Amino acid sequence: MTDDMNRDVIDEPVSAVDALATDTAPIAEEQPHAEEKKNDTPAPAPKKQEPQSPSLGSRLAKLLSSISVKYKISGTFVIILTVAVVSLGIVTFTRQNTILRNEMKSRAATLASQLANVGKEGLLTKQEMPVFAAIEDIQKRSDVVYAMVVDDTGKVFAHSDFSKKESVLSDAADRASITADALLFQEIAHESDSILDASMPITLKTKNLKIGVARVGLSEKTLSAAIRNQKTIYLWMALGFAICGFIASFMLARIITKPLDSLSEGIQIVARGDLRQLVEVRSEDEIGKLTTVFNGMILSLREKLLMEKYLSQSTVLSIKEHRDVTQLKLGGERKYVTALFSDARGFTALSEKLSPEEVVSLMNIYLNLQTTVIHQCGGIVDKFVGDEVMAIFEGRGMEVYAVRAAVEIQNYCRALNASRAVAGEKQINIGIGLNSGDVVMGNMGSEDHMDYTVIGDNINVAARLCGVAQPGQVLVSKATATEVGNQATWKELSPVQVKGKDQPIPVAEATAVQGGARKFMRRATDESVTYSLEGFLDESNKAVIKNICPAGCLLEVSGPIGIGSKLSVNLNMVDLGLITVHSTVYHARKQGEAYYIGLCFNDLSEDAKNHIIHWIHQVNAELVKPLFA
């Protein structure tokens, strides 16, 4: 393969950022004051501060800020619901426990009062049988643990346990019941059980004389079991409420955040430069209003981008640089530029044979070709004048990029014309003229309508050179050729006489540029293909073509492949079917986790080459016919 072919595969487009030279001068270092120079005492070294670990609060705040809004809303709702349920449970349990205990005390007091009435008669008459009968009747209740009547000395007169009759009670609870002058409730432990003890004094109202105490003990097992049952029921209810609340809050959060998710997705799409889609407005609340405003912004951006297509890049850059309307005034400044003019040869005669629609369609193909190359080489298309293109390369050092753009335009046009000739389609030949020098760049026109452009004698010279350039020729003035020097290959020509100049202008024809100029235009794509290494044809590997031209392509693969390796690439082209192309790796690099290899096609058929060229030079992206099936 030739060096030109190699470059056509492995070179990347020239970036305008890399090409433009900066005018920023290096900032001079500040000189120390005289007093500082005299002071030779070394300054103490600053203490190196240990990096402080973030506090628990900051870490917690960071964690909370990273949680999705959907989960924040549902979590907050569940927390509020849980706090409400727990608070209601505490109040309910406390109140229910009080009610149950009061009922139990009321029941114990009633039993103790009944026993006291019977015990009074028994103590006065010394008859035990009526008292024992009353005790047996009381003990028929399942919650009664014991019942007794005690005289004023603490001796048991009658007891549900016959073994304790005539015994003297002496523990603290017993003493408290004997000394009590009114109904007394005590909670005591009795055989591993909690007992509610009710003590009712037995008195003679006529003499106000206390003759004994009636006591009844009720077990709290029933009370505790009832409370436990209520707690269990309440816990299950609380769990059910929590689950239902979580589901409801999650659905509510989803309803709230779904429009936000759609809006976020729309913002990401716009950030990628796609303004074709609007976000669906799902509600009329604040989020819906925000979505409507965002859609309005997209429409405004569409209008802006569409208007930018009708303005020269220099005008757009001027507007972005001077956003203040008061600074957009007529006038300009002197700048050094390289001007490129191109013009279609024989276009007037050709347009007479074609319909206006065919003329526009044909011209757009060649104008799109030239614009793409000019942008890749760091230039700016100033304007289109019919079939003529005016481009500017601003700054010194840009001369070689302007010459490279012109040479590549001619190379691409030759390849395109050859392909169109095979297909029996009309072709256009281009003549190009270049000149460098000082011009005035600024706002020209009137206060109501102005254009940001360049004017000056050097612009006129470039236009005149374009006018005398032959089809397929790049005519360069001496001023530009001198700056480029041996970075290009020149063909010496006789000075040419142009309109408006008294003396002939020294010129030269640029035929090549150092480092090689591409012969074929390439186009970006993301098509999946398969390939096999030579010697391993039975092993098929997947890859993605990132860009392609008739000479080769840039392939994204999952593993490294060495320079010089032989590959067989399977291309399933529209109208041509599946074809296998043998190729050689001439360039390889790794970027991130992916590997990129530049391939040079070794045996691509002429039909396939013409098919690729025709696909590359299609215009109107939405109408482009796909290259691969």
What domains appear along the chain, each with residue ranges and CATH number?
64-274 (3.30.450.20), 334-513 (3.30.70.1230), 523-623 (2.40.10.220)
- pLDDT of 532 above 80: yes
Distance CA 116, CA 214 (A): 5
Please tell me the distance from the alpha carbon of residue 605 to that of residue 572, in angstroms, as a whole number. 14
Amino acid, single-letter form, for residue 296: G
pLDDT-derived band of residue 2, with 50, 70 and 90 as boundaries? very low
pLDDT band with cut points at 50, 70 and 90 for residue 583: very high
Give me the chain's average pLDDT, please: 81
Q: Does residue 323 have a pLDDT over 80?
A: no
Three-class secondary structure of residue 464 per DSSP:
helix
pLDDT score of 14: 38
For range 254-266, the mean pLDDT: 78
Q: Can you give the pTM of this predicted structure?
A: 0.58
| pLDDT higher than 80, residue 413 | yes
Q: Residue 33: which pLDDT band, with cuts at 50, 70 and 90?
A: very low
CA atoms within 13 A on the CB side of 457: 7
Does residue 272 register a pLDDT over 80?
Answer: no
The residues, any chain, with a CB within 8 Å of residue 433's CB and separated by 6 or more, are 340, 341, 342, 462, 463, 464, 465, 466, 467, 468, 469, 475, 476, 477
Q: How far apart are CA 543 and CA 567, in angstroms?
A: 12
The whole-number pLDDT of residue 580 equals 87
Average pLDDT of the residues in 223-247: 82
Q: How far are the Cα atoms of 52, 343, 353 from residue 357, in angstroms, in the given order?
A: 71, 20, 12
**Average pLDDT value for residue range 127-138:** 89
**SS3 for 336?**
strand
* SS3 state of residue 330: coil
pLDDT of residue 431: 95
Average pLDDT of the residues in 203-230 = 84
Euclidean distance between CA atoms 548 and 521, whole angstroms: 9
pLDDT number for residue 311? 57
Q: How far are the Cα atoms of 332, 466, 469 from residue 440, in angstroms, in the given order?
A: 6, 20, 25
**Residue (of 196, 215, 218, 221) closest to 144 by Cα position:** 218
Q: Which of 56-60, 194-198, 313-317 has the lowest mean pLDDT?
A: 313-317
Say how far apart CA 423 and CA 181 lie, in whole Å. 125
Write down the pLDDT at residue 470: 93
Averaged pLDDT for residues 319-344: 76
How far is 370 from 518, CA to CA, in rounded Å?
13
pLDDT score, position 27: 33
Q: Read off the pLDDT of each residue in 35-57 and give the average, rounded to a whole number.
A: 55
d(CA 260, CA 256): 7
- Residue reference for tokens 């049988």: 129
Share of the chain above pLDDT 70, in %: 84
Mean pLDDT of 371-391: 91
Q: How high is the pLDDT of residue 324? A: 55
Q: Between 629 and 5, name the one with better pLDDT.
A: 629
Strands, E, within 13-91: which ranges? Answer: none
> In the block, which residue shows the tokens 């205990």?
101
Between residues 191 and 460, the one the model is more confident about: 460
Distances (CA, A) of 65 to 71, 78, 601: 11, 18, 53
Instruction: Report pLDDT digits (tens) over 600-617.
Output: 999 888 888 888 898 888
pLDDT at 622 over 80: no
Burial of 324 (0-12, 13-18, 19+ CB in 10 A): exposed
**Per-residue confidence band for 243, with pLDDT thresholds at 50, 70 and 90:** confident
Question: How would residue 13 be classed by pLDDT, with cut points 50, 70 and 90?
Answer: very low
